[in-house]
């Protein structure tokens, strides 16, 4: 990026990383001066939440296993009511982006501190960003009120993550780092972290697909995801995240899978206007980074088309309209016809199209 002036904002968070770090949870609750922890999870991960409650013993106020995708406002309000009834003084979220989002929504409304134990590669645990869905629209806000105080990364918690979810969750994380390379407020710190993150995940995810029990690959993937989360929390977002929020919030598409499908196409859309970022990505992804991302998805058994994850063809026009409706920064101007073409290619699972380059 050359020798130019920049601003870098570091967000305070205590990070504990390694194997078997879950055992530190009771001490971290005590360190925050708390004694009544409400443990959050999705219904699918309630058993893991109950295990944390057992680990906390008398410091556990209860379990709320109602987290769902896209953080619906009515679920957040229900969880706040439970926290109030139980007299919770800290929330402990175990899971992926859905549970982390719920913890943030509770913190926004109550001011309670948060401890997060990620079990996927979502990365949102490192950001002051909260996206909530209401009346079919997902709205995102950035505020330090939702930044977790403690994040406990335990590689053991990711060992049972299914191969399919490992792939989509990991590529979702890569999207955070890739957009950080060409964000309006990019800087040398996040750019360095972003490239390290993309390199780690691009190497680790295929290894996990071949051998889910590969502990070194699991470590590298979680490490890369942590770096991606720092990137997401440090700089702004552009077209890719806007499209994914539109598709997820208005069409109820699964979060990580949507990011996986859209990322190669969003990068290809912006490619002509971000030569420095593309050159940097070539050092870790090869000569055609957008195509490499789609091939990575195939290599890990992830979907490569919106049709495959539940999008209806008759929703593409509306999705384009929503994506164009709010003004937001992007390195390439937003062009309705080109974005509609992007949407169609993503729907079909076609190769990403870089303007001016022949494709098949």
Q: Which residues of 276-305 are buried (b: 16+ CB within 10 A; e: fewer)?
A: ebbebbeebbeebbbbbbbbbbeebebbbe
Region for residue 323 given its phi and psi (left: phi exceeds 0; alpha: psi -120 to 50; beta: otherwise): alpha
Q: What is the pLDDT of residues 144-182, one digit of tens each?
A: 999 999 999 999 999 999 999 999 999 999 999 999 999
Task: Provide the pLDDT for residue 2.
Answer: 60
Q: Which of 142, 158, 174 is the last residue of a domain?
A: 158
For 18-38, the DSSP string reads ESSGGGGHHHHHHHTT---EE
Does residue 246 have a pLDDT over 60? Answer: yes
258 and 321 both lie in a single domain: yes
Compute, in degrees rounded to 10, the torsion defined by CA atoms 311, 313, 315, 316: 100
What is the value of pTM for the model shown? Answer: 0.91
- Please tell me whether residues 279 and 331 are part of one structural domain: yes
Task: Please tell me the predicted confidence (pLDDT) of residue 118.
Answer: 97
| Same-domain check for residues 174 and 90 | no
List phi, psi (to 5°) of 130.
-130, 125
* Chain centre to alpha carbon of residue 1: 25
Start-end of H helices in the chain: 25-31, 46-56, 73-86, 97-110, 163-181, 188-210, 215-234, 239-251, 255-270, 275-285, 289-299, 316-325, 336-348
For the residues 319-341, what does the mean pLDDT come to?
93
Cα Dmax for the chain: 64
The values of phi and psi at residue 90, to 5°, are -160, 150
51: domain CATH number is 3.40.50.1970
167 and 145 together in one domain: no
Q: What's the total number of domains in the chain?
A: 2
Shared domain for 167 and 104, answered yes or no, is: no
pLDDT at 360 over 50: no
| Burial bucket for residue 41 (CB in 10 Å: 0-12, 13-18, 19+) | buried
Kindly give the pairing relationship between strand 37-40 and strand 60-64.
Answer: parallel
146 and 256 share a domain? no
In a domain, 51, yes or no: yes
pLDDT tens digits, one per residue of 2-23? 677 888 888 889 999 999 999 9
Give CA angle at 140 (139, 146), nearest 5°: 130
DSSP secondary structure letter of residue 3: S
Q: What is the mean pLDDT of the chain?
A: 95
Quick check: is 3 in a domain?
Answer: no
Residues of the chain with pLDDT > 90: what percent? 86
Q: Pick from 158, 177, 210: which residue ends a domain?
A: 158
Q: Within this chain, do residues 147 and 236 fall inside the same structural domain, yes or no? A: no
Q: What is the pLDDT of residues 209-242, one digit of tens each?
A: 999 999 999 999 999 999 999 998 899 889 999 9
Judge if 137 and 201 occupy the same domain.
no
- Do 196 and 329 lie in a common domain? yes
**pLDDT score of 39 more than 90:** yes
Is 9 contained in some domain? no
- Residue 108, pLDDT score: 98
Cα–chain-centroid distance for residue 118?
Answer: 11
Domain identity same for 150 and 230 = no
Separation between Cα atoms, residue 138 and residue 312, nearest integer Å: 19
Using one digit for the tens of pLDDT, what is the confidence trace for 94-133? 999 999 999 999 999 999 999 999 999 988 899 999 999 9
196 assigned to some structural domain: yes
351: DSSP letter: P
Query: 61: which 2 tokens?
Result: 């106020």
Identify whether 331 is part of a domain. yes
Give the structural domain span for 126.
14-158
Indicate the range of 219-233, 285-299, 322-336 predicted with least confidence.
322-336
Last residue of one domain, picked from the residues 158, 183, 202:
158
- Contact residues for 196 (Cβ-Cβ < 8 A; gap 6+): 224, 227
- Residue 5 covered by a domain: no
Residue at 251 is within a domain: yes
State whether 92 and 125 are in the same domain.
yes
Count of C-beta atoms within a 10 Å radius of residue 9: 12
Does one domain contain both 78 and 208?
no
Residue 360 lies in a domain: no
Residue 265 sits in a domain of what CATH number? 1.20.1090.10
Alpha-carbon torsion 267, 250, 142, 334, what sign? positive
Instruction: Give the angle subtended at the CA of 283 by the CAs of 277 and 286, to the nearest 5°.
Output: 100
């Amino acid at each position: 990026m050359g020798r130019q002036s920049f601003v870098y904002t570091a967000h305070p968070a205590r990070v504990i990383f390694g194997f078997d770090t879950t055992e530190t949870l009771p001490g971290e609750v005590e360190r925050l001066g708390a004694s009544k922890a409400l443990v959050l999870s999705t219904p699918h991960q309630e058993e893991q939440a109950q295990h944390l409650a057992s680990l906390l013993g008398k410091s556990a106020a209860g379990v709320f296993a109602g987290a769902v995708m896209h953080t619906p406002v009515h679920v957040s309000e229900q969880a706040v009511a439970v926290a109030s009834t139980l007299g919770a003084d800290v929330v402990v979220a175990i899971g992926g982006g859905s549970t982390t989002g719920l913890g943030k929504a509770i913190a926004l409304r109550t001011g309670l501190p948060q401890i997060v134990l990620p079990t996927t590669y979502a990365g949102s645990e490192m950001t002051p960003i909260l996206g909530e869905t209401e009346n079919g629209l997902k709205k995102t806000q950035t505020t330090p009120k939702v930044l977790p105080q403690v994040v406990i990364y335990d590689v053991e918690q990711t060992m049972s993550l299914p191969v399919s979810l490992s792939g989509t969750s990991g590529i979702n994380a890569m999207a955070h780092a890739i957009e950080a390379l060409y964000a309006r407020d990019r800087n040398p710190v996040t750019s360095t972290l972003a490239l390290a993150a993309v390199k780690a995940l691009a190497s680790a995810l295929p290894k996990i697909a071949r051998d889910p029990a590969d502990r070194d690959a699991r470590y590298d993937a979680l490490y890369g995801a942590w770096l991606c989360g720092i990137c997401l929390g440090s700089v702004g977002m552009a077209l890719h995240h806007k499209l994914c929020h539109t598709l997820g919030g208005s069409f109820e598409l699964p979060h990580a899978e949507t990011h996986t499908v859209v990322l190669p196409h969003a990068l290809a859309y912006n490619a002509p206007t971000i030569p420095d970022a593309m050159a940097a990505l070539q050092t870790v992804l090869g000569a055609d980074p957008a195509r490499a991302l789609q091939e990575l998805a195939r290599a890990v058994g992830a979907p490569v088309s919106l049709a495959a994850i539940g999008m209806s063809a008759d929703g593409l026009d509306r999705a384009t309209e929503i994506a164009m409706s709010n003004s937001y920064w992007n390195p390439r101007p937003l062009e309705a016809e080109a974005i509609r073409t992007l949407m169609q290619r993503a729907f079909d699972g076609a190769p990403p199209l870089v303007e001016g380059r022949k494709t098949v």
